[in-house]
Structure 1
C-alpha cells in the first residue's frame, strides 16, 4: 500500500511538472512574437494605436488549431513586443464569419458613435451564400467601441458596402484622407484593388480600381494597405497588396507599389514587381493606424502552403516582429525598407561586440555568445562583398543557414536541415532574395526567436522571414566564409523577454 502511494505521488509530481513545462515552455512557442495561448490564428487585423496602447486584432478560431469560422481575437501591448491576450472582440453572426479588416480612431466623430470611438471595418463572410455560389457572400461591415476596445457594438445598418458580384471582395483597410476630409477604403477585389470613400464610415462611394495590369497575379489579391511616406521632400504613397499564391519563393507573400494618390485614383510609378519580404513567412502584412509619422508593419508569420500543418501545439501561428518602414532611392528606383522597431531594444541583455574580424572558413561564436536559449539579435557589417553564411545549429545536428551568395548577388535562408520539415513537402527548401544595395558594403541584422529568423539586409532594403522547427534550441552559432573576408563589426545581443 505504501509503495502504491509513493508511486501515485511520484506520478502526480511528474504530471505537475509536465503541465508546468507545457504551460510555460511549449516546444516551438515564440518568446517575443505574439501567439495566442491556444488554437488557430492568421491575419493581423484592426491594428491601431490608441491612448498609449497598441491594439492587435487577428483572425482567430477558438475551437481548434486549424482554420475555422473566423472571429476577431484581441491582444494589447505598450511596446509591440510584450503582448497580453484579451477576450475575443468580434464573433460570427447572422451575416457571417468575421474576416479581415482594419480599425481607426474616429477623432472627429464622423460616424456619430462618439468622439474618439474606435471603429472596426471588416468583411462579413457568409458561408451559406458561398455554397450557393451567388458571388455575393462577402460584404463590408463596421462595429464600434467606446471603452478602449474592451467591448464592441456592431452597427445596425450592416453591411455598409454591398457586394457587386465579386467572389473575393474583402479585407478593407481604412484611413483618413485629410486633404479632402474623408475616409478612404482600400479593398481587395479578386485580382485588383478597389478604392471607396466615405464622409462617415457608413455610406461609401466607389472611386476607382487599380492593378488589372500591374504587379504579380499568381493568386488572389488580399489584405491591402495604403499610406504616404515623406521621402526626399516628396510625399510618396505606398500600396501594399498581399497575394496567395504567387510569392517569390512560392505560396503567399506581400508585394507593394509606389506612386501617387489623389483621393480617388492610385497611380503607380513602379517599373517592376517589388516584394515586402522574400521569405515565405510574412503574409497579410499591414500597418498600424494612428501612429503619426511612424509607419509600423506587422504580418502573419506563416504561409498558406503549410499553415494548417505546422507541428505546434496547442496553438498555431505567430506574428512577425513589428517593423518600421521607410523609403530609399537606389539608382532610378525607390524601394520600401523595413527594420525592427526600436522597441525591440528593450529585450537586449548580455552580449558582445568585436571589430575587424578576419574569417577564413569559420568563426565559431558559440562559447562567446554563451546563449542556450537561441534567442538573439546579430548585427554585422563588412566593406567587401564575399560569400558569407551565418549558421544556427544545435546538438541534434539541425542547421539553419542565412547567407549571401556573391556570384548570384542574392541573400538566402536555407531551412532544408533545420529540424522537422516532413509535415509539408516544400517546407525544407532554400529561399532566395534579390540584393538591391549598390557597392560592396553589406550590413545584416538577424533576429532569431525559438522557431523563426528575420533577416534585414542593407538597412532593410531586403527582408526575409522564415519559420523553422528545430529538435532543440539553436544554441550554436558560427559565421563562415570559404573565400575569406574581414567583418568590420559584429554585435551580438541575447534577447531576454521580460515576461511570457
Structure 2
C-alpha cells in the first residue's frame, strides 16, 4: 500500500470530536414522540446497518452506521453502544470517523472479532467517491482494519485489501476464525453488474489472500450483494449446514416476496474451506415486513447465533427525520435450524427481562364484527396471542396497534383467504403505507408482537417467520384493540406485557 492511501486528511481524534458535537446538537432538540423505548437508536442523527456485533471483555457490543450531522444518509461513521446483559445499554464514544484519504467519504459497514492478540479488531470498508467516465460519481472502496485494547478507543491500521481494479461496489467485510485460519467474505459487483461474494483468508489478520469466488447470484438483475454473513448451524440431529446471508440489490417483487426496494435473505447449503459454497435451498427472506435490511450475526459465548438488523426506512416519507433522528435496529434474535432444516428466528431469551407488568386475558371468543379495546394507552408492549384457526370463522381477525382517536392504526391480523399473517399500514397516521403478508404452515397460529413507539415486530409460530415495520401513530393515546371481520375469532390465550426502557431514551 502506498503511504498516500493511508494518509490522514484530518486528525482522527478531531474527526471524532466533531461527530460527537454533531450528535449532541441533534439530540438537544430531539422530539421523543416516536423515539424507540426498547430498540437501539442513535442519540441523534441517521443510522443504518448494524456493525461489529460481538462479546468482548464481559460486555455485549453493537456498533452501527451513523451520520452524526443530519437525519439523512451521509458520510458514515461507526456509532457504539454496549451492555452487560443485552437488555440495558449505555452509549459509548463514537468509534470510527472518516480521517484517512481512503475513507474520506465514509467508514462503511463491517464486523468485529477478538484477535489472536486479545485485542478487539474492527474490519470495515473505506469509501470514497471517484469520477466516472461520463463525469458521474462512482464508489471506490477498500477493506480496512482498526484495533482496540479496551473495546472503546480504536487505532486505525489502514488498508488491508486494496481495490486495484477500481470495482464500483466492493464492501462490507465479515470475518471469522475456523480451524486456525481467519476468513473474510464481502460483497462486490462485477463490471457487468452481477452481484457476487468473495472469500479471502489470512494467518495473521493483516495480510489477506484471495481464495475464490464463494457465490454468484443467479439473477442477472441483482447487481450487488451487500452486508454478507456466513456461518454454520446444526439442526437438532447434529446435521451441519452453512447459511449464506446477503442483502440483494436489484431483486424484483415476486408475489408476496421481495416487496421492498432491497431485500435481505439467505440460502442454506454446504461448504468446506477451499471450496465453493453449494446452495441447497432457494433464496429465502429473513423477514416479511416493510423495514428489515443488512442483518448481521455473531456467536455468543454460550454458542447461540444472535442477529441484529436495520429497520430500513428506504421509502419516504420518514416522519422521525424532523425530530432529530432517523432509523433503529431490530430486537436481537436467536437464529436456529429446526428438524426440517429450516431457519427460525426468535427474540433472545433476555428480552423477557423487559417485562414490567402483565395483563392475562385468558381464552375467549370474539363475536362477529366485534372490536374490543385491550389496552387504552401503551407505548411499549409485548403481546402473546394464540389463535385456534380451525375454530375461527372470521375472514380477517387480529390486532389493531397504535390505534388513536382519529381512527389511525396499523393491523396485524390473520387472513383466512390467503392463510397468511398480514401487517397492514393502510390506516397508518403518517409515513409510508402498504401491507406485507407472511406464510405459516399450521392450523394453529401463535403470535408474539413487539410494539414500540413507532415500530412493530411480529414473530409467527415460534419464529417460523417474522415481520418488522415502522408504524408511526398520531398524537394522543395509543390503544391496542382486537377485531374480527365477517365471523368470530377463537382466542386460546392472550397476554399483554408492558415493557421498560433499555436506557437509551429519555
In the superposition, the TM-score normalised over structure 2's length comes to 0.84
Q: Please say if residues 104 and 289 of structure 1, whose CA atoms lie closer than 8 Å, have aligned partners that are also in contact.
A: no
Q: CA deviation at 1:288?
A: 2.9
Q: Deviations over 1:421-472 (max 9, x none)?
A: 3xxxxx211112232x2x3111111110000000110111111100021113
Q: Does 1:220 align with 2:220?
A: no
C-alpha RMSD over aligned residues: 2.6
- For 2:232 and 2:125, how far apart are their aligned partners in 1? 24
Q: Please say if residues 132 and 138 of structure 2, whose CA atoms lie closer than 8 Å, have aligned partners that are also in contact.
A: yes
- After TM superposition, the structure 1 stretch with the greater mean CA deviation from structure 2, 206-215 or 227-236, is 206-215
Q: Does 1:322 align with 2:321?
A: no
> Match of 1:68?
74
Q: Which runs of 5+ in 1 are unaligned?
A: 1-18, 110-114, 422-426
Secondary structure of the residue aligned to 1:91 is coil
Q: CA deviation at 1:201?
A: 1.3
Q: Deviations over 1:123-152 (max 9, x none)?
A: 0112246797797711101110012x2211
Q: CA deviation at 1:289?
A: 4.8
- For 2:317 and 2:332, how far apart are their aligned partners in 1? 20
Secondary structure of the residue aligned to 1:346 is helix
Q: Deviations over 1:62-99 (max 9, x none)?
A: 11111111111111122333322221111112111210
> Match of 1:492?
496
Q: Deviations over 1:163-183 (max 9, x none)?
A: 544211100011111x3x111
- For 1:365 and 1:490, how far apart are their aligned partners in 2? 13
Secondary structure of the residue aligned to 2:449 is strand
Secondary structure of the residue aligned to 1:45 is strand
Q: CA deviation at 1:491?
A: 1.8
Query: Quick one: structure 1 residues 133 and 289, their matched pair in 2 at CA, closer, same or farther if it must change by over 3 Å?
Result: farther
Q: Please say if residues 215 and 273 of structure 1, whose CA atoms lie closer than 8 Å, have aligned partners that are also in contact.
A: no
Q: Please say if residues 216 and 273 of structure 1, whose CA atoms lie closer than 8 Å, have aligned partners that are also in contact.
A: no
Secondary structure of the residue aligned to 2:353 is helix
- For 2:240 and 2:220, how far apart are their aligned partners in 1? 25
Q: Please say if residues 129 and 137 of structure 1, whose CA atoms lie closer than 8 Å, have aligned partners that are also in contact.
A: no
Q: Please say if residues 343 and 464 of structure 2, whose CA atoms lie closer than 8 Å, have aligned partners that are also in contact.
A: yes
Q: Please say if residues 195 and 264 of structure 1, whose CA atoms lie closer than 8 Å, have aligned partners that are also in contact.
A: no
- For 1:266 and 1:336, how far apart are their aligned partners in 2? 22
- For 1:418 and 1:308, how far apart are their aligned partners in 2? 13
Counterpart mapping for 1:88-487 below 5 A: 88-92=94-98, 93-96=100-103, 97-106=106-115, 109=116, 115-128=117-130, 137-147=140-150, 149-155=151-157, 158-177=159-178, 179=179, 181-190=180-189, 191-214=195-218, 217-218=221-222, 220-231=224-235, 232-246=237-251, 248-306=258-316, 311-330=321-340, 334-361=341-368, 364=371, 366=373, 368-369=374-375, 372-385=377-390, 386=392, 387-392=396-401, 393-421=403-431, 427-435=432-440, 437=441, 439-472=442-475, 473-487=477-491
> Match of 1:3?
none
Q: Deviations over 1:196-252 (max 9, x none)?
A: 111111111222224434479545210010111110211111111112353622212
Q: CA deviation at 1:154?
A: 0.9
Q: CA deviation at 1:266?
A: 4.5
Query: Quick one: structure 1 residues 280 and 194, their matched pair in 2 at CA, closer, same or farther if it must change by over 3 Å?
Result: same
Query: Quick one: structure 1 residues 162 and 199, their matched pair in 2 at CA, closer, same or farther if it must change by over 3 Å?
Result: farther
In the superposition, the TM-score normalised over structure 1's length comes to 0.85
Secondary structure of the residue aligned to 2:66 is strand
Secondary structure of the residue aligned to 1:69 is coil
- For 1:213 and 1:300, how far apart are their aligned partners in 2? 22
Q: Please say if residues 62 and 81 of structure 2, whose CA atoms lie closer than 8 Å, have aligned partners that are also in contact.
A: yes
Query: Quick one: structure 1 residues 362 and 31, their matched pair in 2 at CA, closer, same or farther if it must change by over 3 Å?
Result: farther
Query: Quick one: structure 1 residues 161 and 197, their matched pair in 2 at CA, closer, same or farther if it must change by over 3 Å?
Result: farther
Query: Quick one: structure 1 residues 449 and 360, their matched pair in 2 at CA, closer, same or farther if it must change by over 3 Å?
Result: same
Q: Deviations over 1:20-61 (max 9, x none)?
A: x98786221111111111111111111111122111111111
- For 1:457 and 1:471, how far apart are their aligned partners in 2? 27
Q: Which runs of 5+ in 2 are unaligned?
A: 1-24, 190-194
Query: Quick one: structure 1 residues 226 and 217, their matched pair in 2 at CA, closer, same or farther if it must change by over 3 Å?
Result: farther
Query: Quick one: structure 1 residues 388 and 346, their matched pair in 2 at CA, closer, same or farther if it must change by over 3 Å?
Result: same
- After TM superposition, the structure 1 stretch with the greater mean CA deviation from structure 2, 204-213 or 166-175, is 204-213
> Match of 1:41?
47
Q: Please say if residues 365 and 478 of structure 1, whose CA atoms lie closer than 8 Å, have aligned partners that are also in contact.
A: yes
Q: Please say if residues 30 and 324 of structure 2, whose CA atoms lie closer than 8 Å, have aligned partners that are also in contact.
A: no
Secondary structure of the residue aligned to 1:200 is coil
Q: Please say if residues 44 and 324 of structure 2, whose CA atoms lie closer than 8 Å, have aligned partners that are also in contact.
A: yes
Q: CA deviation at 1:286?
A: 0.7
- After TM superposition, the structure 1 stretch with the greater mean CA deviation from structure 2, 125-134 or 168-177, is 125-134
Query: Quick one: structure 1 residues 290 and 215, their matched pair in 2 at CA, closer, same or farther if it must change by over 3 Å?
Result: farther
Between the two proteins, the alignment pairs up a number of residues equal to 458
Secondary structure of the residue aligned to 1:137 is strand
> Match of 2:17?
none
- For 2:502 and 2:144, how far apart are their aligned partners in 1? 38
